[in-house]
Amino acid sequence: MNAKIKSGLIALAVAAAAVTTLNFDAKSVNKNKATRLYYTYNLSTSTGAKNPSNWALQTSPGSSCGTPGSTPCKVSFDSSEYIDIIAYLNAQNFTSDAEVAYGEGVISKE
């Protein structure tokens, strides 16, 4: 009887290890599905840069912004960091529209 119990416990331990390994692999796959998000600023001045409705989601990095300046042009970030432009802008804690042009991941223009 003891041999059967030991065999059962070993089988249970092996099954638990297999389930745990598969669970960790599934979590790793989900983390790797993060994508790069690109947003373009729609206005020609920095006034309104903290307003998410002034940013448009793009499907690719887009074209150059030209000469760097004090107006936001575009921003990109990983979807594992921020799910959208609202989350990005909120997390940066910008105190003014003008600060957005110099935010993390922001490319500015003249």
Q: Where are the domains of the chain?
A: 1-33, 36-109
- pLDDT at residue number 34: 84
- What is the phi/psi pair of residue 65, to 5°? -95, -5
pTM of the model: 0.68
pLDDT digits (tens, 9 = 90+) for 33-48: 889 999 999 999 999 9
Question: Could you tell me which residue, 81 or 25, shows the higher pLDDT?
Answer: 81
Separation of alpha carbons 8 and 106, rounded Å: 58
- pLDDT at residue number 16: 60
Closest CA relative to residue 74, chosen from 34, 18, 20, 36 = 36
